[in-house]
Amino acid sequence: MMNVVDPWGEVLLDMNLDYPSIRTVDIDLDRIDKVREKMPIIQHRRHDLYTLMSPTVIIVGIDDKSEEKIRWGQIEITTSQIFFRSTLTMGLVNKKPVVAGHVLLSPIRCVERFCQLNPEEINDLFQCTQLIAGKIEEYYQAKSLSIAIQDGEYAGQTVKHVHVHILPRKPVDFEENDTIYHELAHHDKRKQGWRQEKEMADEAKILRKLFYPDT
């Protein structure tokens, strides 16, 4: 008996026969490559036995051609909004930025609260935060950065997916410095100021050049 099974476990051909036979099956090699890239091996590991703490950020390419929909908390985003990807983290542009260059970083795995991240995700998320924050500060010619996580409803979190806010800061961008925390808590509750997908995609393309210079 012989079966043909794809990497995701789907049986493509079942040779449940007790006599000699020949059969053929079409195999989509492109689909196999995509499935293998998305196999959640990280989530399947036992963290008490295996750890993959990387001392450096491993940058992964972004494929816009697939127009893939990605679950981000309770909403969906597209790859066109993503400007950075590592093995465990993605960087995306903001639909309603508080200041120019206000970007977001999230674990790729959909996790609502910070305490639910595994050690590898925490390690990668903050290494990516350090890398991206430096690039954003330089690109927007800022003098400082505000970096924040709104962890839970009463902290102002509206998207149920852990994310880090990176905001480039300039002199007197706010009359009172603490005003930025009020803006973070309320900016996405106002009706005006929401950006269109094309504007977000255009910004993502510009920011990608900071991390993918050959694209």
Catalytic residues: 163
The strand order across the sheet containing 89-93 reads 82-85, 89-93, 103-107, 164-169, 144-149
Q: Is 65 exposed, middle or buried (0-12, 13-18, 19+ CB in 10 A)?
A: exposed
C-alpha to C-alpha distances, 69 to 44, 72, 81, 163, nearest whole angstrom? 23, 9, 10, 18
CA dist., res. 136 & res. 92, Å (int) = 12
CA dist., res. 199 & res. 41, Å (int) = 34
Q: ∠93-132-118 over CA atoms, to 5°?
A: 90
Q: Is 135 exposed, middle or buried (0-12, 13-18, 19+ CB in 10 A)?
A: middle
Q: Decide: 92 and 205 in contact? Cβ < 8 Å.
A: no
